Amino acid sequence: MPTITSPSTCQTVLTTFETTPGTCQDLLEALSDAYEMFISKQPGFLGAGLHVNDAQTRIANYSQWTRREDFQAMLRSDEMRQRNRHIHELCKSFEPVMYDVAGVYPRNG
């Protein structure tokens, strides 16, 4: 399970996928398959979550990695490059962005 802490000892990657209601489920299945069959088995992978908006026009992905180099190596692999070509066909755009956790605000009260 991903855990949000600050300071963080891991690399956080947020990816937003712009899609349509007609392809949202197909894209979600492709992403789920990528995580279950490949990404979750890669060195440095810690956890991830997929989120879908009510209109089914966006999917947000949150993932954590031990090091940014682990995430980059996964992206550069032949299998992920092939999967990303298929994912690109199912959405208008997507962009993974690496972030550092700048603050965490747990529930008070």
Predicted structure pTM score: 0.90
Domain boundaries, the chain: 11-99
Q: What does the pLDDT look like over 3-27, one tens digit per residue?
A: 777 888 899 999 999 999 999 999 9
Q: What pLDDT does residue 9 have?
A: 86
Please tell us whether the domain made up of 11-99 is placed in CATH 3.30.70.100: yes
Q: What pLDDT does residue 2 have?
A: 67
Using the CB atoms, write b or e for 36-74: b if 16+ within 10 Å: eeebeebebbbebebebeeebbbbebbbbbeeeebbeeb
